[in-house]
Structures are given as C-alpha cells and as structure tokens.
A and B are shown apart, each in its own frame.
Chain A
Amino acid sequence: MKPPKFEYHAPTTLDEAIAALGRYGGDAKVLAGGQSLMPLLNFRLARPAALVDLNRIASLAYIREQDGQVRFGAMTRQRTIEFSPVVAQRLPLLKEATRWVGHLPIRTRGTIGGSIAHADPSAEYPAVLAALEGEVVARGATGDRVIRAADLFQTYLTTNLAPDEILTEVRLPAMPAGAGYALEEFARRHGDFAIVGIAAVVVREGQRCTMARLATAGAGPVPVRLRAAEEILEREGLGDAAIAAAARRATELVDPDADIHASADYRRHLAGVLTKRALTRAIGVARG
C-alpha cells in the first residue's frame, strides 16, 4: 500500500514538463490532482518510471471566457469550479456535475484536466464534455492540437493523447441563456463513481425543443452521446410522450458492460430511468 519507486519531476513550466515526459518515452505518468493516480500507485497497479507533477505550474490554473467558450486551465481544481461565478452563469451543468465529483476533500485536489485525461467512463466531467460538445487542447513537443470530445475518448481509461502530450486546457461552449440542464446519477453511496449518470441540456421555445443534448456516464467504455434520443425531442417537442420515447430510445443506444457493481441489463434500465428524470428536470428549469 505504498507507491513503488519512481523518479520525480516537479517542473514550474509547461515546456519543462513536456521535455521531462519526452525523456521517458511513454514510461512516465503525469500527476495532476492525484485523486485517481495516487491510489493506483499505492496499490502498485501503476508502476511508472517517473512522475511529472504539474502542481507547481501556476499558469495551468485559470478560468477565462473567450470566443463564446469558457476555457479552463487543466490544473483548475474542481473546488474552484464549484464556486466559480463564471461557471455558475455560463455552465450551470458543469457546476451541478461538480457536486457529484467525489467528496469535498477530493475536489480540493482533483482537477478538470486530470478527470478528463483519466477518462474513467463513470466520471461526471467526461459526460459533461460530451454533452456540451467541448474540446481539449493537448500540447506535445511539436505544439498544440485541439481534440473534440467525440475523438478524445477511446475506451476505458484511454484517450488519444500521445504519451508525450499533456492536456493543457478544457474548452466548453457557454450554454445558451435559459437552457435547461440536469445531471442525474445513480451510485450506491454519494461520492462514489456513477453506476450510470445522464447529463441533459434542453433549449426550448414554448413546447418546441430547438436543441437537446444527452450524454451518459457509466453506460459503456466511453461517454455516449444519445443523438437519436435527442432527435426525438427536437422533432416532437417536450411533452410527456416525447420524453418517454427519448428515454426508451436511450436504453437502445447504450451498450453497457457488466461488472461487480451492476449487470449490463440493470445499467441499460438505469439509462432509461435517468434519461427521463434528467429531461423532466431540465425542461422544468428551461426558460423560453
């Protein structure tokens, strides 16, 4: 229950961090908030040759608005996001999701970049990134590249970040004013990873729905956008029948695996139930 030996680097600039990563050819791990990586080290499930700790790179922690997006430095703590007025105003779905991330003493350390780069499919932030069609910026030795949410997540705990790249920024489009939103989640205990979670956003004009977004956590190896369910709402409006049809469609769109926590069938069932709850609540708070 103690970490194995590793070489430790705590650079103060991003360039140094990328150079340090490059020296280990994929055998180094990036340490952000450490709330997932440190347990893996303690269990010795991870045995990297080196850790590159980003915690001393002050320039990686910020929240700023630009080009209709809210941009987060990768090392922005979840606790900062929880209390950010910009997030409350522009990204209320992210604020709501943050309260589901672990517990208070996890969120003081955990970061938005770490949560997304770790790519646990049961985590809340990847689902929000998918629902809002966000993107991330990755920097490597050859410069920056922007990766869309749909291209980032490959499978369990796996992204298309290269071994010598660091996720430096998360970009989320500001939600339209008046958009309804909800994150519904089922877990055995509050603060656990979701067995299944559903993030929902709806933009309404009366009973018409001009935009619907649904994304899952815990219902497959990566967050799943439920596009065909969204289309039902955009076509048929926001009545009870459309909500029920979208929830039914959600159960057909997910392809969950079974594990010690829940069977695949149960997860599929939850996807439908939580889609209905999330949509009902999102529609209730939507203005327009």
Chain B
Amino acid sequence: MSDTDFLGRPIIAVTGLGIVSSLGRGVTDNWAALTAGRSGIHAIDRFPTDGLRTTISGSVDFMGEMGATSTGLSYAMAEAAGSEAIVMAGLNDADFGGPLFLAAPPVEMEWQHRLKLDRMDGATREEAGYDRLLEIARKHPDPSIYHLTQCSRISELLANRLGTRGLPITLSTACASGASAIQLGVEAIRRGETDRAITLGTDGSITQESLIRFSLLSALSTQNDVPEKASKPFSKDRDGFVMAEGAGALVLESLSAAKARGAKVLGIIHGCGERADDFHRTRSKPDGSPIIAAIKAGIDDAGLKPEEIDYINAHGTSTPENDRMEATGLAAVFGDRLPETPISSNKSMIGHTLTAAGAIEAAFSILSLKEGILPPTINHNNPDPALTLDVVPNEARRGDISAVLSNSFGFGGQNACLVLGREPRG
C-alpha cells in the first residue's frame, strides 16, 4: 500500500481526536450522547435573558473559572480537546512538535470589563464613553483585560501548553473555520513542511451581545419552550440555528510518519475544497454555484466521484436558508443518488458551534467511519417536503461507510468541504 495519494501527495492520516461540546467533555462521552440522540441544548443561565427573543443555547458551562470570559472559555475548551487528541495519538501533549492551526472566534472587550472600568475612579470626565475609559485606563492599567481582546491570545497560550512549533495560524472563516483549519494542516503536510499538525476549532463566545447580534439578523431559533427540540435541521418548521459552544481537535499526520512510529490510524482526510461566494454578506448565491463548486472541489481533491460518498455530515444549521441551499447544492452534485445517501446534522443535538463546528463535525465524521454508526438528525417529526433527503431521522443507524463528505458554510461567502475516509486509498 502506497503512502501517497492519486496525485503523489502524502496521504493524511488522523491519529488523534478531541471533543468538547454541550454534551460533555471528551470523545467517549460525546460520541455516546450523540449516537443516543441526546440534545445538549438548554435554557441560558450564564446571563439574564429578560427581553431577549432567544433564551436557549448549547453553551458549555462546565469548564470552571476559565468560563468567565469568551477568550478564557475558548482557550479552556481548545486545551481540553487539543490535549485529548495529542494523547490519543500517543504523543506528548506538552511537546507536540508540529504546527498549530487554530480556528478561533474574533474577540473584543466584553461588557463586564467596560462596566467595571466605568465604575472606577480616576477620570475627570463624567460623561460615559471611550474618552472616559481612556482616562481611567491611564490611571488603572490592566494588561489582563487587553490580553482577552487579542485574537492571537488563544493560540499563544495553546502553543506554550501543547508545545507546538513555529508561528501558529489563528483563522476565521466564520462558520467554516473549523474545516479551514483542517485544510491548512492538510496543505502543510502535503507541502512536506511537517510530518504532523494539530488542527483545532474552538468557540466559547456566547455572550449577551453575540446572541443579540445574531438575533438582530434573524438567524436564531426562537422556539425557546422546549430547548432540546429547537434545533431541527431539514424540518418544515425550522426557524433558525441555536448558538452553541465547543471545541474539536484532530491530529493530522502523513500516513508514512504515522506508520513509522506505529501510531493507530483512526481515519483519513482524502480531500478539501473551498469556494467563496460573491453574492451577499449573509446569503448564498441563489443558484448555489459556490456551494456546488466547493463540494465538487472537495470530492475532486479526494480523487473520488460523488457516487463514492457513502454519508454526508451536513452543515445543517436549521435555518430556512442554509438547509434549503445545502440540499440544492447537494442535489446538483449527487443527482438521483442524493435521496439514497444518508445525511445527518450533528447540530440537531449540539447546536451550531460556529467557529468550532467544522472541526467538531470532522471529528464526529471520523468516529462515524470508524464505528460504522451514523448519528441521527433528531427532532425530525415534520420533514420539509421540499427536501428529499434521508436525514437519518431521530435514531442512529448502523452503516458500513468508507467515505464521508462534511460541509461547512459561513457568513461572508465562506464554503469549505472535507472528504474523510476510513482507509487510505494509495
């Protein structure tokens, strides 16, 4: 068996996985809950929700005091997932020895800090605003607040903690970020720059303001009454996504390097595809051409044909627009075979983990391949008649699958698709 693919590039093995989501900490707990069809969506108690249209989320509330800020929580979850993946790969989680590609949420000063500063003395100006805060900052400097606003902060801490090499890349392609991080890792190994890379997606950014921002764009479900039933991808009565938090990590290695050190290969990244959309800031081009191009590019990069894809891990956000456009795009690529190709959305259970989604869902895709189990799309009691899909409704299903397509689409015209496999195709 060759260690290179159909284009002579190194085959990319996955040798470690790590997951944190509202379902729990660690791969074992998450996989058990996901395949049992359990939801992690719940009423928000992190902050008051009075007056908000959406009062539910898949927040992660069990990371201790690091959960007090978005940057702290995003780091803590990334650290947990990253460490789990590296240890699973049989490597040293304090001296990983390869580069870090991190999908992380953009961060800025949080309200708790603005209000804390405003309450301090030291300003001649009484009028509320940034001029006053600047005066106070000169009297009471606090670098720890600044650090929380740095988009490089999480990768800097992770690089120290995990012993990665070189300058880490922190990226954002909105809700496709997790997939883009994996793509960057794949490209670095294919270029021969490194034998291994850790790719991470993390997002712990549920705050009042972030919730309100998405709410003002009418992106969120307002079906608050029974939180665990709000996320219902591909259902007729879907009304928006449910914001969620989590982290996903994959250790990627060239197959030859993994074999040389006797590592257990959990799965393969066969290919990656991407295509930007120039139509609108939040909506897809009506003909779906960028989504179609991204899916085709991923399958082409894998050296596969659409009929060789056995299962699709959908982006499936549960917004009216996404699920319709995703189905349209898939129909154009898969044609008559689409209704027979199972497709399910992890977001029905864990919600939309935004920056982390592509990474978490890639990890779940590897587990689906390895265990031969397709996680369900839960809350599927009222199918959208316009979408003829086998969404693996409500209960997990056994399936002997060898190749999975994992889709990720985001605001700003971001479309990224990964093709993952069970075995190398040398």
Physical interaction between A and B: no
Q: Hey, which bits of chain B sit against chain A, CB under 8 A?
A: none
Q: Hey, which bits of chain A sit against chain B, CB under 8 A?
A: none
